[in-house]
Amino acid sequence: MKPQFISSLAALAATLALGLPGAAQAQSMPYGDLGGASASSDSGSDNGDEAVDDGDSSEGLGGMVKRTGRVKVTPYIEAQQVVTAELSPGNETLTYSTVAAGLEANLNGRNAQAGVAVRYERRFGWGSNKVSDSDVVSGVARASVGLIPRTLFLEGGAMAARMSVNGNGSTTPGLEFGNSSAQVYGAYIGPSLKTQLGAIDVEGHYRFGYSRVTTPNVLPVGPGQTPVDLYDEGTVHHAVLHFGTKAGTVLPIGLGLGGGWNHEDVSNLDQRIDDKHVRADVLLPLGSDLALVGGVGYEKVQVSQRDAVIDTVTGLPVRSANGRYLTDKSQPRQIAYRSEGLIWDAGVMWRPSRRTALEAHVGRRYGSMTYFGSFAYAPNSRTTFNVSVYDGISGFGGRLNQALADLPTQFEGLRNPLTGGLSTCVAGLPGTNGNSGGGCLNGALGSVRSATFRGRGVMASLGIQGNSLQYGVGAGYDRHSFIAAPGTVLALANGVIDENYWAAAYLNGRIDRNSSFGTNVWANWYQSGDALAGNSSSIGATAAYYRSLSGNLTATAAVGINGVNREVLQDIWTASGLVGLRYSF
């Protein structure tokens, strides 16, 4: 990273911190309850009671929020005028109009929970250097439906986002100046089982996932730089089954036996991950809220791929029309990675209350040491704090599907007010069942390189929802060690380590009954292990003002700035402004 950019970054971050207190890459569209009844009071108890809805409709800022028991639905249509000015390296200005339709909804029932924030947008360019007319779909959804109460559930999730892609494969959220934007899609569905056979607890999960990344019209690369192969599409099968007894039922200790299967296919060069394991585990209570845990088992992991078609004249790999390597299906599959043998881990579990849970493990897997765990803390119904540490082998699609499954089923969609696009974070709703701590997809979306990898990382998020303010912060680190077969076109990527550091924060609030504001700031630092690809970093911030013009009509004004620094290319800085109207039904 260039020294002058670090200085600029620090100065801008300090300015934002002073001018936009607690500002994130999450931007809420707070049209809902700001003008209606205040949030439920904090009981401060540890009984995990649900927030109770009175079943009445209430007038929110910008329209009617429809409630039926624990159902909240807000459909809307929107029209906006946007201007984006390039500050560096050029001075081009683009203007376009948008019309959009969307839906924000949450369901919190006894046997079903769901959260939806989805938006379709059509853009119309203006002027001689106009933005190309385009369609943009963005959103996130999570649901859990009880097919058999307390026993069999159907789980699912989906997301769509629009992001700019750099030549090293990293993504830049919020920046859509030029033709380097790509649409990212991900979805999964599958059953979950929780039941008992006498004294034995039985738990099983199966998940089928799909993901896809569209090709940018232009992928910016530096002189002599070969563009990395971008992820196309893929599928994931993930299944686990576990049998166990609780401590004190059959024996003073808890015992368990289980197995799992993870299979991922990536269309690029027919890459494939196949991971099977069986293991036995034990839990030793040290008190009412503390226990030692450990397990030992056997695992077989294999990563394979095919090579690209090679031009017989030039000797270079052939790329398809969308710029990705063309797979040579006539050649046999080649092994890129294989690990087979003993696995183990040991750790500690601490659960002093229903609002606090800690789990930390250390062990050996994939032929080396592994570390993983989580910490969740909710001191009251309005505050959530989560930390997770992960380690696993996957492709882009597998990592994205896991991140989707980790999101809460009750959340508020957070969006960039200038692009209308989904933020990579969601805010969990207070006082609801299930996982309501919020979450982010930043780590999963940090890079769209096609090569499979061993990924390790950590993510932390904090969300607080008060009577008139909602704010949160998130930060994380992701490390990808890429895996590729020797002698193939991806061989140079084998063992290359890319690292991504990211941070995001947001502050939304109510000014009075008829107006509210939203601010956010984010930053990403992507360090590529490929010297030719170069490092990149980005920063951005937005601020928006919302004003209710009538019971259902809301006006919006927003401004923002985005910047990306690339070692092998010129820096880009843009500033944007927007005015718009939203009608909520």
* Region of residue 315 (phi > 0: left; psi between -120 and 50: alpha; otherwise: beta): left
> 136 exposed, middle or buried (CB, 10 Å; 0-12, 13-18, 19+)?
buried
Which residues, in sequence order, are CB contacts of 31 under 8 Å at separation 6+? 60, 61, 62, 63, 74, 76, 546, 554, 582, 584
For residue 252, the number of C-alpha atoms closer than 13 Å in the C-beta half-sphere is 5
Q: Give pLDDT, residue 176.
A: 63
Q: How far apart are CA 353 and CA 465, in angstroms?
A: 21
Q: Could you give the CA distance from residue 332 to residue 363 in angstroms, rounded to a whole number?
A: 35
Other residues' Cβ atoms within 10 Å of the Cβ of residue 215: 16
| CA gap 308, 316 in Å, rounded | 9
- 27: tokens are 């931007």
Alpha-carbon dihedral of residues 49, 51, 55, 61, nearest 10 degrees? Answer: 180
- Taking the domains of the chain in order of start, what are their residue ranges? 3-584
Question: Is the pTM for the entire model greater than 0.85?
Answer: no
For residues 232 and 348, give the distance between their C-alpha atoms in angstroms, rounded to a whole number: 40
* 528 and 166 Cβ atoms separated by less than 8 Å: no
Distant-in-sequence, close-in-space partners of 515: CB < 8 Å, separation ≥ 6: 61, 545, 546, 547, 548
For residue 211, what are the CA distances in angstroms to 208, 377, 401? 11, 31, 8
pLDDT at 30: 30
Query: Residues 96-136: pLDDT tens digits?
Result: 999 999 999 999 888 899 999 999 999 888 876 666 788 88
Q: Residue 219's pLDDT is what?
A: 79
Cβ proximity of 117 and 140 under 8 Å: yes
The structure tokens 């950590």 sit at 458
Question: DSSP 3-state assignment of 385?
Answer: strand
Which tokens hold the place of 104? 């924000």
- Per the CB < 8 A criterion, the answer to whether 227 and 356 are in contact is no
Hey, what CATH class is 3-584 in?
mainly beta
Q: What is the Rg, in whole angstroms, of the alpha carbon atoms belonging to the chain?
A: 24
Residue 177's pLDDT is 54
Count of other CB atoms within 10 angstroms of residue 374: 16
Mean pLDDT for each consecutive 10-residue tract of the chain (585 residues)?
Answer: 36 31 30 29 35 34 42 93 90 90 91 92 78 83 94 95 87 71 94 95 97 87 79 97 95 96 97 97 95 97 96 91 91 95 97 94 95 94 91 95 88 79 62 52 86 94 89 92 94 92 92 93 90 85 95 94 86 93 95
Contacts of residue 167, Cβ cutoff 8 Å, sequence gap at least 6: 219, 220, 221, 222, 225, 227, 228, 533, 534, 566, 568, 569
Distance of CA 550 to the CA centre of its chain: 35
pLDDT at 426: 64
Looking at residue 427, its pLDDT comes to 62
Residue 450's nearest CA partner among 353, 326, 280 is: 326
pLDDT value of residue 551? 83
pLDDT reported for residue 44: 35
User: Whose CA is closest to 256, among 281, 293, 285?
Assistant: 281
